[in-house]
Amino acid sequence: MIKYNEKNRLFKLSTADMTYAIKIAPGNYVAHVYFGKEIPDEDLTWLLRLDENPFTPETNARDKAVYMDTLPFEYPCLGTGDFREHAFSVLDKDGMSTVDLRYKSHIIYNGKPKLKGLPATFADENKAQTLEITCVDEYCGIEVVLIYSVIENYSSVIRSVRIKNNSTNPVNITRAMSMALQLDSDKYDMHTFYGSWARERHLERSKLHHGKQSIDSLRGESSHQHNPFFMLVSHTADEKQGEAYGFSLVYSGNFFAQAEVTQHSKTGVTMGINYVDFNWLLEEGEEFQTPEVVMVYSSSGIGNMSRTYHDLYRNHLIRSKFKNTRRPVLINNWEATYFDFNYEKLLNIARDASELGIEMLVMDDGWFGHRDSDNSSLGDWFVYEKKLSPGLPQLVSEVNKLGLKFGIWFEPEMISPDSELYKKHPEWAIQVKGRPLTLCREQYVLDYSQKEVRDYIYEMLRKILTSANIEYVKWDMNRQLTEAGSCFLRADRQREIWHRYVLGVYEMMERFTTDFPDILLENCSGGGARFDPGMLYYSPQIWCSDDTDAIERLKIQYGTSMCYPPSAIGAHVSDCPNHSCGRITPFETRGHVAMSGTFGYELDTTRISENDRQMIKEQIKQYKKYCHLIINGDQYRLGNVFSDISYDAWLFISKDKTQALLTYVQVLAKANERSKRIKLDGLNPDWYYKNDVNDLVLSGSALMNGGFNFENLWGDFKSKQVYFTRVEK
């Protein structure tokens, strides 16, 4: 999969139908040659258009700056004439920021390395190969290893960078992106995923223009506002055709991602930890590892790119033993009660839920300290006796007796000013000593850069988790970081706090998943502010958004599905009028939309109509029948609510293509339009499929080229599901 051609000094990475090529260019610079559809030829050196610039350092150094400013560097540095966006910069002992990285050596080996302290994709040794190119700057003694891995059968290159200080002097890293590359064209549209609380991952498509277009987070988490994922696609690309490049950062903190169209109309891409307010001191012999970027290439549209990510993340990123299995259908009490619950109320919900076939009760926020609203007790992870008397073990055991599992909510990274913990340890909050702390949701963030803080919180969590039969944890994180500083770090290490915080979170999650592999973990951050691949390494599912309205969710889940598998998308049926936007939608539609994610309920079943209650039983039956398609199948998006809000449709197909589930949502009805034809995708054109609506048997070809008719459509927000199975004809 990875070859080095000594004569041409060319590395060729090939897998599935993709080729990625790198050349050691004149001057020993590591240059990008090609990233795209598979090319069988051995020699690709001609793709590096050195003739565009005659002033190569080896042949004519009189204008080396021009060479530096046009060579498509794999890892561009600051200071020696490349004026495009750089990926790497330092501050050396003399206060200098210039870096000049030259190729020194390389190794190619089987397997994919783990990244110390960081989540990362993984693969069996015989299924992956890795190339490490070592570059050095002889002046400041910095060594940079560019790491590239490919995994068999995936059109993907996974990149990260390891930096080592080989000098005897300390060096400050001021920027260390995970990757950079130069595409040989600017004819792309950039897709980014913006949002806000309760409006995550809304797709925005815009044509690239000369100059820089970027997304980022400086909030300490990947954020509601932008997701650490973007795509570059050819102007005419759609779900089924055209070129698409995806860039996904496996990281949960501050990030930066940019596309820059240069003076010569090429497109430079950079992605990694945000360099703003970042500084990492590297003492003699120390190393720094960047998180990795998973790049995916598709020559056949955006849909194919998404399916590659879905498979890659399901098979090579998510570790949880639950990832390929049906998760218990849960009921969460958040939208049912908010903070207003007690032992009896929870038991009542569980009692009723058990009659309807629900399989797990999740007790959300408000069970600890003296928490009756969001203004206290974070950090006091002991049971609020007044609410839960006679106690948590008793509650769990009663719930279990009803045949339900029990799950619990934590927000382990936070501390309320009104808490016993804050009284004892105000210095454990992230802060700039001497400055007032900024409140957000009446809480501060714990200094997870410190092991002592993590140990203390972990011990409290452990006590609760071992006190009763708890089988699920929702790990929430409800505010961003401000006054980013630590009472414990040295002045010259204070700017490391952002990254150290994230490393601390990862270390806690690693401990948790190691000690409690049988507990199903769901990540969450004020809805979906930390819906990123870093979190998926620890939890097989993430709460997608606090907006549970089925219609708003169409956009949120559509955007999320661009990179993340439906099996990871936390989705629940909630009450109406919806708590986020007041919309009233049919119970059936809410079920169909939630079923396209992890599926569960978030309402008080005792307060809804008998009709809806009965529908819960039906929905659970359907979900059990179809969930293997949703969890392990292929997803095809057949509508696009961002360009046409009148409807949405999507399809899940089993890997063997013998079964498919089609969901259609009529968002806004139209007069004189009582039926809608939807063309399917991904079926075997030569096989025959029978549907469960009218038993009609049609070929895959007919369903994909002709379409399936949804009839008798009437009213807004209605939805329908059709199940297809292969039959012999």
Residues catalogued as catalytic:
476, 546
Q: Is 565 in the site for ligand DGJ (CB under 6 A)?
A: no
Q: Among the candidate windows 102-110, 299-307, 522-530, 591-599, which touches ligand DGJ by CB under 6 A?
A: 522-530
How far apart CA 344 and CA 98 sit, in angstroms, is: 66
Give whichever of 70 and 478 is closer to ligand DGJ, judged by the CB atom.
478
d(CA 476, CA 523): 6
Residue 391 Cα distances to 165, 362, 382, 461, 708, angstroms:
54, 16, 11, 16, 54
Q: Which helix (H) or strand (E) covers residue 350, if one does?
A: helix 343-356
- What is the distance of C-alpha 50 from the center of its chain? 38
- Is 532 near ligand DGJ (CB under 6 A)? no
In the window 623-642, what residues touch ligand DGJ (CB under 6 A)?
Answer: none
Q: Minimal CA–CA distance to 662: which of 618, 626, 688? A: 626
Site for ligand DGJ, residues 397 to 426, rule: CB under 6 A: 409
Judge contact between 494 and 486, C-beta under 8 A.
Answer: yes
Contacts of 608 (CB under 8 A, 6+ apart): 575, 587
* Residue with Cβ nearer ligand DGJ (130 or 557): 557
Asked if 476 is part of the footprint of ligand DGJ (rule: CB under 6 A), the reply reads yes
Q: Tell me whether strands 697-699 and 688-691 are parallel, antiparallel or unpaired.
A: antiparallel
- Which one, 365 or 471, has the nearer CB to ligand DGJ? 365
Residue facing ligand DGJ at closest CB distance? 365
If one asks whether residue 334 binds ligand DGJ (CB under 6 A), the answer comes out as yes
If one asks whether residue 591 binds ligand DGJ (CB under 6 A), the answer comes out as no
CB of 527 to ligand DGJ, least distance (A): 5
Asked if 526 interacts with ligand DGJ (CB under 6 A), we say: yes
Let me know the angle formed at the C-alpha of 169 by 165 and 86, rounded to the nearest 5 degrees.
50
| 25-33, 234-242, 519-527, 626-634 -> range binding ligand DGJ (CB under 6 A) | 519-527
Interacting residue with ligand DGJ among 243, 546, 604, 634 (CB under 6 A) = 546
| 527 belongs to the binding site for ligand DGJ (CB under 6 A) | yes
Examine residue 364 and tell whether it contacts ligand DGJ (CB under 6 A): yes
Query: Contact region for ligand DGJ (CB under 6 A) — 33-41, 65-73, 230-238, 520-528?
Result: 520-528
Does position 543 interact with ligand DGJ (CB under 6 A)? The reply is yes
Q: Specify the residue, 240 or 345, whose C-beta has the smaller distance to ligand DGJ.
A: 345
365: DSSP letter: S
Q: How far is the CB of 465 from ligand DGJ (least distance, A)?
A: 18
Nearer to ligand DGJ, 543 or 652 (CB): 543
Q: Which is nearer to ligand DGJ, 55 or 338 (CB)?
A: 338
In terms of CB distance, is 352 or 365 closer to ligand DGJ?
A: 365
Restricting to residues 89-148, name those near ligand DGJ by CB under 6 A.
none
DSSP three-state, residue 587: helix
Q: Is residue 478 part of the contact set for ligand DGJ (CB under 6 A)? A: yes
Binding of residue 272 to ligand DGJ (CB under 6 A):
no
346 binds ligand DGJ (CB under 6 A): no
Tell me if 437 sits within 8 A of 490, measured CB to CB.
Answer: no
CB of 342 to ligand DGJ, least distance (A): 17
SS3 589: helix
State residue 108 phi and psi, 5-degree precision.
-125, 130
For the chain, what percentages of helix, strand and coil (3-state, to nearest 5) are there?
25, 30, 45
Specify whether the CB–CB gap between 604 and 575 falls below 8 A: yes
Which window, 102-110, 277-285, 523-531, 610-618, contacts ligand DGJ (CB under 6 A)?
A: 523-531
User: Which of 89, 153, 97, 103 lies closest to 131 in space, CA to CA?
Assistant: 103
Does residue 575 bind ligand DGJ (CB under 6 A)? no
Contacting ligand DGJ within 45-74 (CB under 6 A): none
- Identity of the residue, 73 or 475, whose beta carbon is nearer to ligand DGJ in the bound complex: 475
Minimum gap (Å) between residue 192 Cβ and ligand DGJ = 23
CB of 553 to ligand DGJ, least distance (A): 14
In the block, tokens 């839920």 appear at: 353
Cα–Cα dist 591/234, whole Å: 36
Stretch that binds ligand DGJ, among 278-286, 290-298, 521-529, 660-668 (CB under 6 A): 521-529
Query: Does 368 help bind ligand DGJ (rule: CB under 6 A)?
Result: no
Closest separation in Å from C-beta 195 to ligand DGJ: 14
Q: Does 524 bind ligand DGJ (CB under 6 A)?
A: yes
Contact status, residue 20 vs residue 34, Cβ threshold 8 Å: yes
Q: Binding to ligand DGJ by residue 496, rule CB under 6 A?
A: no
223 binds ligand DGJ (CB under 6 A): no
Minimum CB separation of residue 528 from ligand DGJ in Å reads 8
Q: Rounded to the nearest whole angstrom, what is the least distance from the CB of residue 441 to ligand DGJ in the complex?
A: 8
Handedness of CA 482, 483, 487, 492 (dihedral sign): positive
For the CA atoms of 325, 326, 327, 332, the dihedral, rounded to the nearest 10 degrees, stands at 160
SS (H, E, C) 371-416: CCCCCCCCCCCCECHHHHCCCHHHHHHHHHHCCCEEEEEECCCEEC
Which residue number, 298 or 523, has a Cβ lying nearer to ligand DGJ? Answer: 523
Angle, CA of 539, 545 and 546, to the nearest 5°: 120
In sequence order, the 6+-apart residues with CB closer than 8 A to the CB of 505 are: 252, 413, 448
Total of residues contacting ligand DGJ (CB under 6 A): 11
Question: CA nearest 184: which of 86, 248, 262, 87?
Answer: 262
Residue with tokens 């509601």: 224
The least CB distance from residue 570 to ligand DGJ, in Å, is 9
Q: Which of 69, 365, 413, 604 binds ligand DGJ (CB under 6 A)?
A: 365
Q: Which parts of this chain interact with ligand DGJ (CB under 6 A)?
A: 334, 364-365, 409, 476, 478, 524, 526-527, 543, 546
